[in-house]
Amino acid sequence: MSSKEKPTLGGQRIKTRKRNIAAPLDPAAFADAVVQIYLDNAGDLVVFTGGRTQPGTTKPDEGERHTYSILDCEAKREQILPFVIYIQKILRRRPFLIKNLENVMRRFLQSLEFFEENERIKLAIFTALAFSQKLSGLPPETVFQPLLKDNLVGKGLVLTFITDFFKEYLIDNSLDDLISILKRGKMEDNLLDFFPSGKRSAEAFSEHFTKAGMASLVEYNDKKIFEVKVKEMKTALTTQIAEEADLSEVIETVKQHVKDAKLPEIDVVRILWDVLMEAVQWSGKNQQQNVNLALRQVKTWAKLLSTFCTSGKLELELLYKVQVQCYEDTKLMKLFPEIVRSLYDQDVLAEDTILHWFRKGTNPKGRQSFVKALEPFVKWLEEAEEEE
């Protein structure tokens, strides 16, 4: 043992004075604790402090509003935007606060009837700017779903709110951006749910949003409704054709869908041809079998086609439809003259229509090869015309 080492007794414990113990610094934990104290005592975010935040409360329960509040400023985007940016900065530093914002917004939107008209406009502008500025983590369903309370919708409050929201959002964003939000909020196919039950019609939708200056939204909704109606018609026809329903029954089904959906005649002709050809079980290799299947389908449902091809214009549209399909589907490319001849034999296409297409057709898809393939049949038609 070195002479410099001091002998110690076994088991001796050296105590450290408490004042010498240094606790590691934890700024994040300290910040979270401060924020939690604020939330426990101050309630909601400053921008929403004061005013009614609970459904069912009465006017005296509102309390005083904070001077720095959305509900206490002017109903203008330049006045409300700073609040949105302020919240955005907070959420970037403390993402967990997004849940508090969701809860506050949900309570506000569920209580629209308790706010003045001017206050509802402010909430709509704030909500639109929140999505426009992409407040991190704010889900669209938080906004849209609470609005669908029957009493709010019935009073027309929701329609007014959502109209202000759409108008404000579309100032900085495209219609596609708005549709994207609606999709995420599961409202894309249910826009009429914002309307009171007695006004849920395409006409009411068009009139309301046209007056609000949102013609593009009206156009989108009309297209959406049209697509739904077309899909319904195709589904009904496909089922009937697969079940080999009576021809008169199928014709009546088409007429009913045309009446209900107000489908243009040209679109009806296109739909009919698509459904008939999609119902064919095509052969992958046997070309002759495909010829037989196509001609059999035309012959079986010729009366259906002729019922709705009531003019030369519609017949020409059908012929263009056949041309495009035969051009785009390789297994049908050589069937074009056969199909045209069959449609003529079944009195679906008139001679004048075929000759017009042959001489003056405007659709370029495969036209050169199809004209050449149809030459023998056209020559026969012209000779028969001269004899008559």
Determine if the pTM surpasses 0.85: no
Q: What's residue 43's pLDDT?
A: 43
Percent of the chain with pLDDT over 90: 42
Residue 289 CA to residue 281 CA, distance in Å, equals 10
Calculated CA dihedral for residues 130, 136, 141, 146, nearest 10 degrees: -60
pLDDT digit string (tens) for 91-143? 888 888 888 888 888 888 888 888 889 989 999 999 999 888 887 677 888 77
Amino acid at the residue 44:
D
- Distance between CA 179 and CA 273 in Å, rounded? 31
Cβ neighbour number for residue 304 with a 10 Å cutoff? 20
Please report which confidence band the pLDDT of residue 17 belongs to, taking 50, 70 and 90 as the band edges: low
The answer on pLDDT for 50 being more than 50 is no
Confidence band for 12, pLDDT divided at 50, 70 and 90: low
Contact 291, 255 (CB under 8 A): no
Residue 265 clears pLDDT 50, i.e. is over it: yes
How high is the pLDDT of residue 111?
Answer: 86
pLDDT tens by residue, 362-376: 899 999 999 999 999
Number of neighbours of residue 248 by Cβ within 10 angstroms? 11
CA dihedral 145→151→155→159, nearest 10 degrees, is 10
35 pLDDT tier (thresholds 50, 70, 90): low
Report which DSSP code applies to 377.
H
pLDDT at 244: 87
**Token representation of residue 293:** 């299947």
DSSP for 276-328? HHHTS---SS-HHHHHHHHHHHHHHTHHHHHHH--SHHHHHHHHHHHHHHHHH
- Give the residue-averaged pLDDT of 274-280: 91
Of residues 269 and 88, more confidence is placed in: 269
- Alpha helix (H) residue ranges in the chain: 27-42, 77-93, 98-110, 117-132, 140-147, 150-154, 157-172, 175-184, 202-211, 215-242, 247-261, 265-278, 287-300, 302-308, 312-328, 336-345, 351-360, 367-387
Residue 306 φ/ψ, nearest 5 degrees: -65, -30
Between CA 361 and CA 370, with CA 365 as vertex, the angle to 5 degrees is 70
* 137-166 pLDDT per residue, tens: 778 887 788 888 888 999 999 999 999 999
Residue 36 — very low, low, confident or very high, per pLDDT cuts 50/70/90? low
Instruction: Give the C-alpha distances (Å, rounded to integers) separating 377 from 80, 338, 345.
Output: 72, 10, 12
- Write phi, then psi, for 10 (nearest 5 degrees): -60, 135
Residues 39-55 as b/e (b if ≥16 CB within 10 A, e otherwise) read: eeeeebbbbbbbbbbee
Tokens found for residue 203: 């006409």
Determine the straight-line distance between the first and last CA of the chain, rounded to whole angstroms. Answer: 136
Residue 95 is predicted with a pLDDT of 83
User: In angstroms, rounded to a whole number, what is the distance separating the alpha carbons of residues 91 and 369?
Assistant: 64
Query: At a CB cut-off of 8 Å and minimum separation 6, what does 30 contact?
Result: none
Q: Which residues of 186-195 are buried (b: 16+ CB within 10 A; e: fewer)?
A: ebeeebeebb
Of residues 61 and 230, more confidently modeled: 230
- Determine the pLDDT at residue 386: 62
CA-to-CA distance for 112 and 76, rounded, in angstroms? 19
Amino acid in the structure at residue 378: V
Chain segment 180-214, per-residue pLDDT in tens: 998 888 888 788 899 998 898 889 999 999 999 99
pLDDT band at 285 (very low <50, low <70, confident <90, very high): confident
Mean pLDDT along residues 19-34: 63
Q: 39 falls in which pLDDT band (50, 70, 90)?
A: low
* The residue type at 257: H
